[in-house]
Chain A
């Protein structure tokens, strides 16, 4: 198992290298001169040229990329063109807020999705099932940035229960977490339901019933653990969606996270920040998925056996 984890950690290296290459390439071919951006449009040509040389912007692509990777490995992602502060510091300061938001979103999704999905599956075709599936479908159909605005309209503007922006307290967290977690909750609900329905048809569930176990035990002990296997995968995948969604949600609620930093950076054409943000979120996503795969092995002994 440890060897498996090590192997998977090792495999992260080429993936992150690839991600860096993709992101760096996109940014490299972006029109616009970073040196000019830093110095302003009216800066003298000579000064711009000097800065370009100093930043190594005139070097060929492989050299620039190599330098980027070399620095990135040591935690140096360059400097913001706008604030001139190291990108790493900028991201580091904002990252906890984003993690907090994404984790709260996952929590909302899991706490709502799994129980509702189980209830739906055990009451297939009931009114509860129909209603929760209908609501779940609405949940996945709502653009989350719109949902956020509608929540602000209802809870901040009309009812005044929650603040429309800000950070720090639970009251500030509730609306952004619901916004970012809703579609994931809906997906997990649907997934849990269908996975449960698939599992309860299995022979071993019949065996469990034939033992005289109560339906509660059959579902919670025998069915759920098997049904969780695909659900856990989806939660991991959804985490990536949440990190991406953070970009939109954070800007709606003025949440001081990486997402809002990136949106601001895009507006100001502050590419090193955008680049660093994408890398950080991709790395987070990959690490979360690695965690999910390990969790997987703890749920399913068959998988664990393969990696002994």
Chain B
């Protein structure tokens, strides 16, 4: 078994707002093995970004608060490290690519400077070496190094995301967290950026946690997939298993809502209902109000992890034998 680079256990994150306490992440278990790309998949509001920010200790507080759990990186719990130690990891060992390239770069600093900054900080390079490094990173992401003196507003969204990637990889991190890196981009640009990330990840042998709501992206890039619903992981498996043999009713629902080119489908089967109100999450299994298979017990009991073998695990009463399952 490969080394576990990142291991999240029982993570619970809350936001305290005027309208009540929002539990964004609850009892979350997730791990990333060295060299792997793990996809974290879920709808908007499922807590994916909060999970990512928790790893970086960047959950905005207030209103956010990491209530309990642990995030082990190389066997050390990041949640119990001092902030100055965390700062040595941020941008160096673990770095992050953000969702919106239009707002994630500082408008009043040149892109070259924004890349150099991290290199100077973590690798102790002098100005000249940092500049060379920034130029090299720009070239790697397909931006002419001469443009390092330009400001973010002089680039398109796709180019800015390339800058974001260059910035994130500049210190050769062990783990790259990419929070919906292509969502804000045009479809044609999406593919290019994704391809670039895939290539550079291999070149830098960086492990990656890729947050997305797009199963197509997952199929293309990921080794492992974690399906997230209302703050918790409901199913975890390798890509092949998950795509060929999804077990959780929610995962099945997600696949049911994708139009297939191979089969003739007369209508899509979207999951009925909406994401639950985060201030008033359902009791028991959080998916039960929308679950076609739900039984009485799902309303009260929180499902436990069931291991289905080969690293495939699922949180559902069906596989605990408490509710009748699918006929297969």
> Which of B89, B105, B109 is within 8 Å of A212, CB to CB?
B89
Set of chain A residues within 8 Å of B37, measured between Cβ atoms: none
A3 within 8 A of B: no
Closest B residue to A208 by CB, please name it. Answer: B106
In contact, A302 and B56 (Cβ under 8 angstroms): no
Contact of B154 among A202, A226, A305 (CB under 8 A): A305
Report the interface size for chain A: residues with CB under 8 A from the other chain.
Answer: 21
Of B91, B106, B117, B154, the most chain A CB neighbours within 10 A belong to B106
User: Is B87 interfacial (CB 8 A cutoff)?
Assistant: yes
Q: Judge whether B98 and A209 touch: CB under 8 Å.
A: no
A-contact bits for B60-100, CB 8 A (1 contact / 0 none): 00000000000000000000000000111111100110101
B107 with A212: CB separation less than 8 A: no
| Interface pair B108/A203, CB less than 8 Å apart | no
Beyond A204-B105, A226-B107, A300-B108, whether A213 also contacts B121 by CB under 8 A is yes
Q: Are B106 and A210 in contact (CB under 8 A)?
A: no
Inter-chain CA distance A259–B167, complex, in Å, is 55
Q: How large is the interface on B (under 10, 10 to 19, 20 to 34, 35 or more residues)?
A: 20 to 34
Q: Which residue of B lies closest to A301 (CB)?
A: B151
Over the window 183-213 of chain A, the binary record of Cβ atoms lying under 8 Å from chain B Cβ atoms (1 yes, 0 no) is: 0000000000000000000111011111111
Write out the residue numbers on chain B whose beta carbons fall within 8 Å of the beta carbon of A226.
Answer: 106-108
Give complex CA distance A39, B125 in Å.
80
Contact of A302 among B88, B92, B118, B153 (CB under 8 A): B153
Q: Taking the nearest CB of chain B, how far is it from the CB of A207, in angstroms? A: 5
Residue from the set A203, A204, A211, A213 with the largest chain B CB neighbour count within 10 Å: A211
User: Which residues from B are CB-within-8-Å of A211?
Assistant: 90-91, 95, 117-118, 121, 167
B108 (CB) vs chain A CBs: closest residue: A225
Contact (A210, B88) CB under 8 Å given A203-B104, A301-B107, A302-B153:
no
Tell whether A214 is near chain B: CB-to-CB under 8 Å.
yes
Query: Which residue of chain A lies nearest to B89 when distances are taken between CB atoms in the complex?
Result: A212
Cβ contacts A264-308/B at 8 Å (1 or 0 each)? 000000000000000000000000000000000001111001000
Alpha-carbon gap, A207 to B115, bound state (A) = 11
Give complex CA distance A199, B79 in Å: 26
Instruction: Let me know if A207 and B105 touch, CB within 8 A.
Output: yes
Indicate if the CB atoms of B98 and A213 lie closer than 8 Å: no
Judge whether B107 and A207 touch: CB under 8 Å. no
B153 touches A301 (CB 8 A): yes
Can you report 13 residue pairs joining A to B where beta carbons are below 8 Å apart? A202-B103, A204-B106, A206-B104, A207-B104, A207-B105, A211-B117, A212-B122, A213-B117, A214-B87, A221-B109, A225-B109, A301-B151, A302-B107
Instruction: List the 9 closest A-B pairs by CB distance, nearest first.
Output: A211-B91, A212-B90, A212-B91, A203-B103, A301-B151, A204-B106, A211-B118, A212-B87, A203-B104
Known: A212-B88, A212-B92, A226-B107. 9 other contacts (CB 8 A): A203-B103, A204-B103, A209-B58, A210-B58, A210-B98, A225-B109, A300-B108, A305-B151, A305-B153
Name B residues whose Cβ lies closer than 8 Å to a Cβ of A: 56, 58, 86-92, 95-96, 98, 100, 103-109, 117-118, 121-122, 151, 153-154, 164, 167
